[in-house]
C-alpha cells in the first residue's frame, strides 16, 4: 500500500464523514480522501473507472442501499481490479447479525466500530498492507 | 359494550325439530336453521357462526360427516351433535372424525341445552380472544425485534458521533478550537432526542385508552402549526378550515396524527425551493372530518409509497433529512385505533398530499 493511500468514505451521516476525514488527515494516514453520502453515488464513482481507491470505509446502516447492498453490487462491477482495494466496514451497530455478516464477507477486511479510533484504524491499515 | 349474542346454526332434516328449536331459543340466540347441508355450508361461508348443532341421522349427510367436512374451513366453531341413538361407533366417530365438543341426547331439555350452548359460546369467545391476543403478541414481538435492531443503530449512532467529535477535539487541542464542534454535537443530540420522542409517542399511542372529546379543528390545527412553524420559518402555511358542527373523536390521537403529518410536510421540503408551502384543509360534517395536508416538497418515489407506513422504513430524500422511520408508522397505528383512513398521493420532486378521513363520533 502506498504511503498516502487513496481512501473513500461511504456514510449517510454527514457528521461522521466530516469526523472520519479529519481523523484520517490528522493521524497522517492519508490526505487523499473522497466522501459519499450514499452507496449509490460511491458505486457510480467506482464504475466510472477513475482511480480505484486503496481503502473503502463503508458504513453498514444507510437508507436505500445499505453497506451489504453496496458489497453485492461492488462484487459484480466488471473490469475493475478489486485486488488492490481493502474494504473496512464501519458501524455503531452492536447487532450481532450485522457484525458477523460483515466479518464473514470475503470482501471485507475487518469490522471497525464507531467512534473511529485512530490507532485502531492505523493498525488495521498497516496489517492489511502486509 | 353489550355482550355479543351467540350465532347458532342448527341442521336437521326434520322441519319440526328446527321449528321447536327456534321457538325455544329465539330470544336467547341468533338462530339459523337449515335442513340441507349445502345450505349450511353457504351460511357458514357468509356468516360467522359460533356454535353449530347437527342431528346425527340425516338422509344425505350424517351429523358426524357434516362436522368432518366443516372441520378444515371452520375450525373454531363449537360442534354439538344431537342424536337419539347412543351407538358406541357413532360416539367414537363423532369424537375422532367430527371433533365434536358436546354430545346431546334427544329429546333435549330446553334448559339443559341452553346451558350447553351458553358454555359452548363462552368457550368459543375465549378461544377467539386467545387467537386475537396471540396475533397481537406476534406483532408486538416483531416490533420489539425491529426496535432493538433499530435502537442499536439509531440510539447509538448520534452518541458515537459525539464521542468521535470529543476525540477529535482532544487530538486538535494544541492547534484548533474545540468549540467549532459544538454545532455538530448539538445536531447529534437533537437527532437522538427526536428518536427518543418518537419512541415515547409511539408507546403512548399504543397504550393509551381512547378518550372521546369535542374537537375544534381551528384550535387544533393552529396549535399544531404554532408549535411546528419555528422548525422552518420559510414555510408558508395555508389554512382552510370549515367546521359548522360539533366533532368528537380521540383528541390525543388526532393531534398525534396531525402533528406527524404537518411535521413531515415541513421537513421534506426541497432545500432550494423558493416558495415552500404547506396547505391544510379541513372539512367537518356530522359523519366525518376530511383533512388534506398538501406540500410542495420533495415527494415520494412511487416504489416507496407502499412501504412508507412500515416501522423504521425510510427513504433517501433529496435534501437528505433523514427521518427516524417511526412517524408514519405512529400515524397508521393511531388511525387504526380511531377507525380513520389515510390516502397518499405523491409526485417525486413535486410534492405530497395526504388525505385523512376521520369518523365523527358525535353521540
Query: What's the CATH code of the domain at B342?
Result: 3.30.565.10
Final residue belonging to a domain, choices B54, B81, B108? B108
A117 CA: distance to closest CA in chain B (Å): 8
Is residue B123 domain-resident?
Answer: no
At B28-56, the pLDDT tens digits run: 999 999 999 999 999 999 999 999 999 99
Round the CA-based radius of gyration of chain A to a whole number and report it.
Answer: 13
d(CA A119, CA A28): 11
At B282-319, the pLDDT tens digits run: 999 999 999 999 999 888 877 777 777 776 666 654 44
User: Would you state the cell numbers that stand for residue B35, as one nine-digit string?
Assistant: 335442513
Give the mutation candidate from B145, B150, B153 for the A interface (greatest A CB count, under 10 A).
B153
Is residue B129 domain-resident?
Answer: no
Beta strands in chain B (DSSP E): 7-11, 30-34, 51-55, 78-83, 102-105, 212-214, 236-243, 248-250, 277-284, 288-295, 341-347, 351-359
B152: number of Cβ within 10 Å: 18
Of B8-12, B148-152, B320-324, minimum mean pLDDT range: B320-324
The number of angstroms, rounded, from the C-alpha of B116 to the middle of its chain's C-alpha atoms is 34
pLDDT for the residue B1: 37
Looking at per-residue pLDDT, the higher value among B124 and B178 belongs to: B124
- The CATH class of A6-129 is alpha beta
Residue B360 DSSP symbol = -
Mean per-residue pLDDT, A8-28: 92
Of B152-156, B181-185, B250-254, minimum mean pLDDT range: B152-156
CB contact under 8 A, B322 and A38: no
Give the mutation candidate from A115, A116, A117, A120 for the B interface (greatest B CB count, under 10 A).
A115
CB contact under 8 A, A94 and B156: yes
Q: Pseudo-torsion of CA B196, B201, B206, B212, nearest 10°? A: 170
CB contact under 8 A, B322 and A37: no
| pLDDT surpassing 70 at residue B238 | yes
At B62-121, the pLDDT tens digits run: 999 999 999 999 998 999 999 887 778 888 888 888 888 888 988 889 999 999 999 999
State what percent of residues in chain B have pLDDT above 90.
Answer: 42
At residue B134, what are phi and psi to the nearest 5 degrees? -65, -45
Do residues B360 and B288 make contact, with C-beta atoms less than 8 angstroms apart? yes
- Residues in chain A with CB shorter than 8 Å from the CB of B153 are 61, 91-93, 95
Is residue B170 domain-resident?
Answer: no
- Greatest mean pLDDT range, A96-100, A118-122, B23-27: B23-27
Domain around B238? 208-359
Do residues B66 and B44 make contact, with C-beta atoms less than 8 angstroms apart? no
At residue B64, what are phi and psi to the nearest 5 degrees? -65, -45
Is residue B213 domain-resident?
Answer: yes
Name the band, by pLDDT with cuts 50, 70 and 90, for residue B323: low
Residue A1 DSSP symbol = -
End-to-end Cα, chain B, rounded Å: 15
CB contact under 8 A, B187 and A115: no
Final residue belonging to a domain, choices B77, B108, B139? B108
b/e map of B289-321 (b: 16 or more CB within 10 Å)?
bebbbbbbbbbbbeeeeeebbebbbbbbbeeee
Number of domains in chain B: 2
Of B156, B164, B320, the CB nearest to A116: B164
Does B224 lie in the same domain as B94? no
A83 CA: distance to closest CA in chain B (Å): 31
Final residue belonging to a domain, choices B93, B108, B123? B108
A12 to chain B, any CB pair closer than 8 A? The answer is yes
Looking at per-residue pLDDT, the higher value among B263 and B179 belongs to: B263
**Which H or E run contains A8?**
strand A6-10
Does B354 lie in the same domain as B213? yes
**Which H or E run contains A36?**
strand A32-36
For chain B, list residues whose CB is within 8 angstroms of any CB belonging to chain A: 149, 152-153, 156-157, 159-161, 163-165, 167-168, 171-172, 184, 187-188, 314-316, 320, 322
- Residues in chain A with CB shorter than 8 Å from the CB of B172 are 26
Q: Pseudo-torsion of CA B113, B114, B119, B122, nearest 10°? A: 140
Q: Choose among B198, B262, B251: nearest CA to B225.
A: B262
Do residues B269 and B297 make contact, with C-beta atoms less than 8 angstroms apart? yes
CB contact under 8 A, B314 and A117: no
- Residue length of chain A: 130
A28 to chain B, any CB pair closer than 8 A? The answer is no
Q: What is the CATH number of the domain that holds B29?
A: 3.40.50.2300
| pLDDT surpassing 90 at residue A72 | yes
At B125-177, the pLDDT tens digits run: 998 899 999 998 998 888 788 777 777 777 888 899 999 888 888 877 766 66
Does B338 lie in the same domain as B212? yes
pLDDT for the residue B2: 46
pLDDT for the residue B319: 45
Is residue B167 domain-resident?
Answer: no
Rounded to the nearest integer, the mean pLDDT of chain B is 86
CB–CB contacts below 8 A, A to B = 68
Amino acid at each position: 500500500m502506498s504511503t498516502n493511500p487513496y481512501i473513500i468514505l461511504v456514510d449517510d451521516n454527514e457528521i461522521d464523514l466530516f469526523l472520519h476525514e479529519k481523523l484520517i488527515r490528522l493521524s497522517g494516514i492519508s490526505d487523499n480522501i473522497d466522501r459519499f453520502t450514499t452507496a449509490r453515488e460511491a458505486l457510480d464513482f467506482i464504475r466510472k473507472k477513475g482511480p480505484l481507491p486503496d481503502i473503502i470505509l463503508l458504513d453498514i446502516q444507510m437508507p436505500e442501499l445499505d453497506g451489504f447492498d453496496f458489497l453485492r453490487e461492488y462484487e459484480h462491477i466488471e473490469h475493475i481490479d478489486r485486488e488492490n482495494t481493502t474494504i473496512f466496514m464501519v458501524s455503531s451497530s452492536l447487532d450481532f447479525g450485522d457484525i458477523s455478516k460483515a466479518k464473514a464477507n470475503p470482501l471485507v477486511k475487518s469490522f471497525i466500530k464507531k467512534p473511529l479510533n485512530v490507532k485502531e484504524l492505523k493498525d488495521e491499515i498497516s496489517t492489511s498492507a502486509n | 359494550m353489550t355482550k355479543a349474542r351467540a350465532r347458532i346454526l342448527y341442521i336437521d332434516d326434520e322441519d319440526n325439530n328446527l321449528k321447536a328449536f327456534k321457538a325455544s331459543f329465539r330470544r336467547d340466540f341468533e338462530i339459523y336453521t337449515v335442513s340441507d347441508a349445502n345450505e349450511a355450508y353457504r351460511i357458514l361461508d357468509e356468516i360467522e357462526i359460533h356454535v353449530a348443532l347437527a342431528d346425527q341421522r340425516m338422509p344425505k349427510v350424517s351429523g358426524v360427516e357434516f362436522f368432518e367436512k366443516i372441520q378444515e374451513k371452520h375450525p373454531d366453531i363449537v360442534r354439538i351433535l344431537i342424536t337419539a341413538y347412543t351407538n358406541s361407533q357413532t360416539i367414537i366417530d363423532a369424537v375422532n372424525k367430527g371433533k365434536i365438543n358436546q354430545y346431546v341426547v334427544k329429546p333435549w331439555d330446553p334448559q339443559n341445552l341452553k346451558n350447553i350452548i351458553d358454555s359452548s359460546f363462552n368457550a368459543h369467545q375465549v378461544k377467539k380472544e386467545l387467537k386475537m391476543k396471540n396475533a397481537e403478541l406476534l406483532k408486538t414481538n416483531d416490533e420489539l425485534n425491529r426496535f432493538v435492531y433499530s435502537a442499536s443503530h439509531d440510539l447509538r449512532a448520534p452518541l458515537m458521533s459525539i464521542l468521535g467529535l470529543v476525540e477529535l477535539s482532544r487530538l486538535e487541542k494544541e492547534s484548533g478550537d474545540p468549540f467549532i464542534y459544538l454545532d455538530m454535537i448539538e445536531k447529534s443530540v437533537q437527532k437522538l432526542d427526536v428518536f427518543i420522542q418518537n419512541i415515547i409517542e409511539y408507546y403512548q399511542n399504543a397504550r393509551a385508552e381512547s378518550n372521546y372529546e369535542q374537537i375544534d379543528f381551528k384550535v387544533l390545527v393552529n396549535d399544531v402549526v404554532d408549535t411546528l412553524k419555528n422548525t422552518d420559518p420559510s414555510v408558508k402555511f395555508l389554512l382552510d378550515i370549515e367546521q359548522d358542527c360539533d366533532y368528537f373523536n380521540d383528541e390525543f390521537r388526532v393531534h398525534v396524527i396531525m402533528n406527524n403529518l404537518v411535521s413531515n410536510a415541513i421537513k421534506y421540503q426541497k432545500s432550494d425551493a423558493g416558495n415552500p408551502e404547506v396547505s391544510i384543509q379541513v372539512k367537518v360534517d356530522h359523519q366525518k372530518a376530511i383533512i388534506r395536508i398538501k406540500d410542495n416538497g420533495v415527494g415520494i418515489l412511487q416504489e416507496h409509497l407502499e412501504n412508507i407506513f412500515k416501522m423504521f422504513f425510510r427513504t433517501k430524500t433529496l435534501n437528505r433529512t433523514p427521518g427516524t422511520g417511526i412517524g408514519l408508522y405512529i400515524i397508521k397505528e393511531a388511525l387504526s385505533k380511531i377507525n380513520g383512513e389515510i390516502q397518499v398521493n405523491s409526485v417525486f420532486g413535486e410534492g405530497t398530499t395526504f388525505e385523512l378521513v376521520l369518523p365523527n363520533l358525535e353521540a
